[in-house]
A and B are shown apart, each in its own frame.
Chain A
Amino acid sequence: MTYTMWIILTASLVGLSCGVIGVFLILRKQAMMADAISHTVLLGIVIAYMVTQQVSGTGMLIGGILAGILTAFLVQMLHSLKVQHDASLGIVFTTLFAVGVILISTSVGNVHLDVQHALMGEITFIPFTTVEIPLIGAVPKATALLTVVLILVIFFIIAFYKEWKITSFDPALAASLGIPVIFFHYLFMTLVSVTTVASFDAVGAILVVAMLITPAASAYLWTDKLMWMLILSGGFGVLSAVIGYWIATWLDTSISGSMAFATGCIFLFGFLLSPKHGLISRWVRPEAWKEEHVS
């Protein structure tokens, strides 16, 4: 495969995983949790590096996942201590991210870890680090990792599909039926962390946030069915990857940046043109829109 194909494939895997996870982030009104976790994984990665003295590998993966869960846990704790939810999120993630930044510049020194890289990622270099996989051959490490993550995400979403649905829609009913709502909250945050950490090194924090939130928000505009929202959201993620790569080659600019831009364009397209929630249908058929929304 060419480098171009590997890059697009890797970004598409990010788009699929993030798109599916993002649907539940939006429905659970935790979209900004994506922003928080995508930043705090930096702290986990730095600490993992300090412990293991290795740049890549399982240590960093575990460190990042733990940092993500820690973020979810601290936000929940501050909130239960009567700090407003959005405020506690802002406090936790900026503080943990700042600790990560300080540690990078003071304790880690001159290795392949810097803030610029953390935010923007560098997907161009993905094809250069490969692993041998039986039957398939040399596969970029990030691509292999993201494939495993995608399988994991899809497995958990399907296995607990009805639990995700009910704990997102009506947690009080779920709890009264004996479904462990808190457990699913943390399981979900773990999935968000796993997806974020795996995507992080490849595409950077900004594209992770864009891929987690925007395709799902776009899918929400086009359908009333949860299953379709998941499929559309994953599809929009892949589409953003392809369009983004094309924009990047055309303008000779950052690939991650272009892909994030593409997610925004897809959202804008839906926001204007979707038959149910679009601005234009609201303008063309104001009665139908009113009937649906004001009653």
Chain B
Amino acid sequence: MRSSIIQVDDLSASYQKNKVLSNVNFNVEEGTITAIVGPNGAGKSTLIKTMLGLHPQLTGTVRFWDTSFKIAKKKIGYVPQRGSVDWDFPTDALDVVTMGLYGKIGWFRFPSRKDKEKAMNALKKMGMESYAHRQISQLSGGQQQRVFLARALAQDAELYFMDEPLAGVDASTEKAIMAILKELKRKGKTVLVVHHDLQTVPEYFDHVLLLNKTVYAHGKTEEVFTKDNIATTYGGNMQWIGKGDQYVVHATSQ
């Protein structure tokens, strides 16, 4: 068995007085691509934000490579939800990607030409090099998401957290993002992705974590992503489409 690089023990967190996470326990192995799946309000985003110290935790511990987040953070990349920033900000795509390197550039320094090259290469990987100097508000939703992915690539991290990278993107962007995920996996990187589309889970992810305020199931996709587990996680708030053993479900709104 490969080594666990993330250990989460008894994690809990609340949001506006409501407890959204309680008693969350799981370990993540190196080199896996994990989908975090659950109904609306299950605390998926809160989980990764809490793990990254962006949201206060009530109880529990989160360890990366057996150390604290503070020590490990240089090896961790984060892709926030696209809607979390103001795309009218006066900057271009290349500049946004360069921001991924700010942690490494250090105090009182400006990004060097080498940093810009690194950022440009990341944009190229996402097929976005011709948009490098485009104002970010003039990019489509999918292109904006690619810029975010490129920024994470530029960070050259060992472990990535992505919050809904496939939400509301066009088919070609989805393909490009999935190609990058596969490449990251090939390079032995570890990725955790908050994902909303149950249909594509078996195709895209080798591990899955079913979350609804606490962990309902976690493990290899083919073992854990079963109709029963999904049904208990979603607590009946869903309807089954299709038939037989196809894992095709749609969460109904709550």
Contact = CB atoms under 8 A, between A and B. Distances in A.
Given A162-B99, A168-B89, A170-B84, 11 more contacts: A27-B89, A82-B16, A162-B102, A172-B84, A173-B80, A173-B151, A179-B102, A220-B90, A225-B90, A228-B90, A295-B140
Given A166-B99, A173-B99, A176-B78, A226 B52 contact: no
Interface of B: 16, 49, 52-54, 70, 73-74, 76, 78, 80, 84-86, 89-92, 95-96, 99-100, 102-103, 105, 108, 110-111, 135, 137-138, 140-141, 151
Given A169-B85, A170-B85, A224 B78 contact: no
B138 to A, nearest CB: 6
Contacts of B140: 295
Contacts of B90: 27, 220, 223-226, 228-229
A60 B246 CA distance: 73
A186 interface: no
Interface of A: 27, 29, 82, 159, 161-163, 165-166, 168-170, 172-179, 220, 223-226, 228-229, 292-293, 295
- Of B74, B86, B105, B151, chain A has the most CB atoms within 10 Å of the CB of B86
Nearest to B103: A177
A34 B172 CA distance: 44
Nearest to B92: A224
Given A161-B110, A220-B90, A223-B90, A170 B99 contact: yes
A162 B105 contact: yes
Nearest to B105: A162
- Of A27, A165, A177, chain B has the most CB atoms within 10 Å of the CB of A177
A170 B108 contact: no
29 contacts: A162-B99, A162-B102, A162-B111, A165-B99, A166-B99, A168-B89, A169-B89, A169-B96, A170-B80, A170-B84, A173-B78, A173-B100, A173-B151, A174-B102, A175-B52, A176-B76, A178-B74, A178-B103, A179-B102, A179-B103, A224-B135, A225-B90, A225-B91, A225-B92, A226-B89, A226-B90, A226-B91, A229-B90, A295-B141
A269 B140 CA distance: 30
B54 A176 contact: yes
B138 A292 contact: yes
A176 B73 contact: yes
A99 to B, nearest CB: 31
A166 B102 contact: yes
A154 to B, nearest CB: 15
Closest 4 CB pairs of A and B: A177-B103, A176-B78, A224-B135, A172-B80
Contact of A169 (B49, B70, B86): B86
Contacts of A159: 108
- Of A162, A178, A223, A292, chain B has the most CB atoms within 10 Å of the CB of A162
Contacts of B91: 165, 169, 224-226
Contacts of B74: 178
A39 to B, nearest CB: 27
Nearest to A276: B135
Contacts of B103: 177-179
Nearest to B99: A166
A292 B137 contact: yes
B142 to A, nearest CB: 10
A177 B79 CA distance: 11
Nearest to A225: B90
A274 to B, nearest CB: 13
A226 B111 CA distance: 15
